[in-house]
Amino acid sequence: MKRRTLKQLRPKRQPNQHHNVYVVLLDAAVGRLRKVRAENPKRDSKKPCVYVGMTGLTPEERFANHKAGIKAAAVVTRYGIRLLPELYAHLNPMPFEAAVQMEVDLAEDLRRAGYTVTGGH
């Protein structure tokens, strides 16, 4: 009988398709920061402030890391409220190169729609 290993028992998935983009709802106080206002000159004050990021973890794990201060963006640690999966869930998962580009594109699209956006490098 052939010996089965843990590696063989795990479900097969494409290792290059594990990156995600995510959007975090931020407290409206972020809109008063000079740097944020400068990055969003056409912002609609009725729309929320958001942070756009990219990760090799799940968005939930990454948000928890932000809030715990692990490799965190200060704006998310201080002002982050919750994830907004309705803005990004349909895009995930994807390869690294696609996620890098999608982070930028998603930030630009949200900014164009009037959101106050930080992140999205």
pLDDT tens, position by position, 1-16: 555 555 555 455 556 7
Max Cα-Cα span within the chain: 68
CB 59 within 8 A of CB 83: yes
Q: Is the peptide bond before 59 cis (omega within 30 degrees of 0)?
A: no
Summarised one tens digit per residue, pLDDT across range 42-64 is: 999 899 999 999 999 999 999 99
Residue 69 sits at the vertex; the CA angle it makes with 66 and 75, to the nearest 5 degrees, is 60
Q: Per-domain residue ranges for the chain?
A: 16-119
Q: Taking the model in full, what pTM does it have?
A: 0.85
Residues 6+ apart with CB under 8 A from 26: 48, 49, 50, 51, 75, 76, 79, 80, 81, 116, 118
